[in-house]
């Protein structure tokens, strides 16, 4: 009795060989890969981090420290100069405004004829010394023995008159009732900055 199982195995092997041979010769034949396991593919994500270096223990170099100090010094000098210039500008504007107000006050007193006298201002520019002005009343002029000094205002340190010039004085006297005067200017200077007060003939001050 022949072994039937062995015959079937031989037939199967023969068929497989034929199929393989046909598949290799037939370019239209497609290869079907084996089925992968039935679970989803999970993509791999790679993260790249910069290398971590130990912190330098050397600190700042001498050159770096010198550069920082130089920058701080420059900023400090610039800031100090700006602040000083700003303060001087404010002082100039303040003294000019105060002088203008005092001149208007003197003119108003002359126009109402208070005391039956004239009113005015006397500016003094002492060379290398005091810088101030006085409000006064007088029957005629500042040199009159009957004059009376109403108030004295001294300029702040660093402020000087440029008009009147050093060593000179200037008087502004308003006529009674009309309030007119001789047109003139008064200028104050500080570190190259100027503030000018102008008086026109009709007595207007600005």
147: domain CATH number is: 3.55.40.10
In-domain check, residue 37:
no
- pLDDT of res. 198: 98
pLDDT digits 0-9 by tens, 21-60: 555 455 444 444 555 555 455 555 555 555 655 555 556 7
Residue 174 falls inside a structural domain: yes
**pTM, 2 dp:** 0.62
Distances (CA, A) of 188 to 13, 43, 155, 195, 204: 122, 83, 9, 5, 19
CA distance 195 to 94: 9
Domains: count for the chain: 1
- For residue 133, being part of any structural domain is answered with yes
pLDDT of 88 reads: 86
Give how far the C-alpha of residue 205 lies from the chain's centroid of Cα atoms, to the nearest Å: 34
Helix (H, G, I), strand (E, B) or coil at 90: helix
Give 92's contacts (C-beta < 8 A, 6+ positions apart): 159, 188, 189, 190, 193, 194, 195
Where the chain has pLDDT below 70, the residues are: 1-59, 78-83
β-strand partners of 194: 189
Give residue 122's domain range. Answer: 81-199
Instruction: Give residue 119's pLDDT.
Output: 98
**Would you say residue 205 lies in a domain?**
no
Residue 159 lies in a domain: yes
CA R_g for the chain: 52
């Amino acid at each position: 009795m022949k072994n039937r199982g062995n015959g079937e195995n031989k037939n199967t092997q023969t068929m497989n060989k034929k199929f393989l041979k046909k598949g290799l010769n037939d370019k239209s034949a497609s290869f079907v890969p084996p089925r992968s396991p039935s679970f989803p593919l999970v993509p791999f994500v790679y993260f790249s981090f910069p290398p971590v270096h130990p912190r330098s223990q050397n600190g700042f170099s001498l050159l770096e420290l010198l550069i920082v100090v130089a920058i701080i010094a420059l900023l400090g000098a610039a800031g100090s100069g700006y602040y000083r210039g700003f303060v001087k500008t404010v002082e100039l504007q303040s003294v000019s405004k105060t002088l203008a107000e005092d001149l208007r006050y003197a003119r108003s007193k002359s126009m109402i004829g208070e005391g039956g006298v004239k009113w005015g201002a006397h500016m003094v520019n002492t060379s290398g010394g005091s810088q101030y002005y006085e409000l006064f009343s007088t029957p005629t002029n500042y040199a009159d023995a009957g004059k009376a000094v109403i108030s004295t205002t001294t300029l702040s340190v660093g402020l000087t008159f440029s008009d009147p010039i050093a060593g000179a004085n200037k008087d502004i006297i308003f006529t009674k009732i009309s309030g007119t005067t001789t047109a003139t200017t008064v200028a104050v200077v500080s570190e190259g900055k100027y503030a000018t007060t102008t008086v026109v003939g009709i007595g207007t001050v600005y």
